[in-house]
Amino acid sequence: MGQWKNSELCTIRRNPTIEVWLFTKLLSSHQLELFHCSSTYRSLRVGALSVEPSTRSPLFFNIPSRHKEAAMTGSVDCVTDLSQVSPVLLRKYIDGCHMLHQHDLVDAYGHLSVRLSNTTFLMSRYLAPALVASPEDLVIYNIEDAQPVKPDAPRGFSERFIHSEVYKAYPAVQSVVHSHSLEVVPFSISTVPLSACFHMAGFLGTAVPVWDAASVYKDHPSDNQDMLVRNIKLASSLAKALGENGQVKHPVVLMRGHGMVVTSESLEMCIFNCIYTQQNARVQRSAMGLGGEVKYFTQREAHDTGTTTGMGAVKPWPLWEQEVANETMYRNQISQPGSGRD
Ligand SMILES: [Zn+2]
């Protein structure tokens, strides 16, 4: 592990009640991670850069490219080899794959990715997420064309284009999940929209968009219509449903008869968004089954609950880590930070 430096302090977001700062943490000569704190956490004081990290509740981010100016050393313009990636991030990625499986968000299918740089991202090879275990299972891809950086890379997922096109369209997105959640798919084929009605999922907003592959098929009728997103043409169309002008408006978009794509500015929050999207779907379907009128969040309620819980992955992440660590079927061969083996 690297040492704490006198990191630059930069405020990235302000509102009347919550302030968020990013700190940089030096992990190696090439890698920095950002340390995220909020004024809602008692231990953080403005400018208290010397506070011991262990006394705060940290949420680690891989480096958003837009903040690289704040980094003191190293470059994130191009990460092409796993040796350039911090073990902390690699371990977190593998844990994330396992968490998605433990929460029934993926089975043999579905995948997680994380951005490494302006031009590359990381995904597992063609393997069920529960079985991802070691660096040999990880592949670095070019964002431009979703092709592996190394020509001898193992086979990858056919739908990795979903990830590459989202990273290409939205520079702030740091992590992407594609899931076939059975709780969520019904909302992709119904006229009832998936809508925020549970306070942990305000980020969904008042209606989650549904992207329909048929919107592309209609212009290319001779194409295979198996609903899979395995080329740039389909994936770029899907990515457009998330937002516009490089800004994400909807962190979650459903895919008709298929699943969903979930995004966030950190890997932890991407897992968080997946888990609570699924829980909101479960709550909404349960309420609809009661037969009365379902009262959904207003736009303001969705916004405010989303803002509050958006600061909250600090709390569940260690729980989710412990849960997957306790399951013998999940193996993470990247050494635990601080174990003395890294
Ligand atoms: Zn799929």
Instruction: Give the distance (Å) from ligand 1 centre to CA of residue 131.
Output: 18
The residue type of 290 is: L
| Domain 82-326 class in CATH | alpha beta
User: Would you state the pLDDT for residue 337?
Assistant: 63
Active site residue 159: yes
Lowest mean pLDDT, pick from 53-62, 169-178, 318-327: 53-62
What does the block give as tokens for 20?
Answer: 């968020």
User: Would you state the pLDDT for residue 21?
Assistant: 40
Instruction: Give the distance (Å) from ligand 1 centre to CA of residue 110.
Output: 6
Question: What band does 338 get if pLDDT is binned at 50, 70 and 90?
Answer: low
What span, in angstroms and rounded, lies between the C-alpha atoms of 129 and 305? Answer: 30
- What is the average per-residue pLDDT within 43-55? 29
Question: What band does 265 get if pLDDT is binned at 50, 70 and 90?
Answer: confident
Question: What band does 307 get if pLDDT is binned at 50, 70 and 90?
Answer: confident
| From 33, 159, 165, 265, the catalytic residue | 159
Q: Residue 305 pLDDT > 70, yes or no?
A: yes
Q: Residue 124 pLDDT > 80, yes or no?
A: yes
Instruction: Give the distance (Å) from ligand 1 centre to CA of residue 230.
Output: 9
Mean pLDDT over the full length of the chain: 81
Instruction: Give the distance (Å) from ligand 1 centre to CA of residue 168.
Output: 19
Instruction: Give the distance (Å) from ligand 1 centre to CA of residue 42.
Output: 42
pLDDT tens column, 72-107: 333 356 789 999 888 889 999 999 999 999 999 999
- What is the average per-residue pLDDT within 18-47? 35
What does the block give as tokens for 2?
Answer: 């690297």
Q: Residue 2 pLDDT > 70, yes or no?
A: no
Instruction: Give the distance (Å) from ligand 1 centre to CA of residue 298.
Output: 31
Instruction: Give the distance (Å) from ligand 1 centre to CA of residue 156.
Output: 13
Q: Percentage of the chain surpassing pLDDT 70? A: 75
CA nearest to 261, candidates 340, 145, 126, 161: 161
pTM for the whole thing? Answer: 0.80
Query: What is the edge-to-edge ordering of all strands in the sheet holding 10-14?
Result: 10-14, 19-26, 32-38, 59-61
User: Would you state the pLDDT for residue 127?
Assistant: 98
Lowest mean pLDDT, pick from 24-33, 127-136, 170-179: 24-33
Residue 237 contacts residue 223 (beta carbons within 8 Å): no
Q: Residue 306 pLDDT > 80, yes or no?
A: yes
Domain ranges, ordered by start, for the chain? 82-326
